[in-house]
Amino acid sequence: LVGKKALGKGIQEAILDSGLYPSTKGSRIYAVVKGAIDAGLKVPVSEEVLPSEERIYGKHIVSYKEKFKNLPGEFEKIRQKILSG
């Protein structure tokens, strides 16, 4: 969205200024920068700080959900053991 708005106003290049905040590889601010670059805006940034495509598309969330898919069943088993024990 940022990239498209900037391009619509004739802005072709941008520089990320995070001020005094420490930057973290793959953080949300770099996801925004990646979106701006994908929209066509030229932003000088190292590729290694941008989040991966898997992270952008939420594949880590899907794998986390799959990991705990049977969690209610496991809780019920433990509950029954406690109640019967």
In this structure, are 22 and 60 located in the same domain? no
In this structure, are 25 and 41 located in the same domain? yes
How many of the other CB atoms lie within 10 Å of CB of 26?
15
Q: For the whole model, what pTM was predicted?
A: 0.68
Structural domain span for residue 22: 1-51
How many of the other CB atoms lie within 10 Å of CB of 41?
19
Averaged pLDDT for residues 69-77 = 86
The answer, yes or no, to whether residue 63 has pLDDT greater than 90, is no
In this structure, are 27 and 9 located in the same domain? yes
pLDDT at 30: 95
In this structure, are 68 and 47 located in the same domain? no
In this structure, are 38 and 73 located in the same domain? no
How many of the other CB atoms lie within 10 Å of CB of 51?
16
In this structure, are 6 and 39 located in the same domain? yes
Q: Number of folded domains in the chain? A: 2
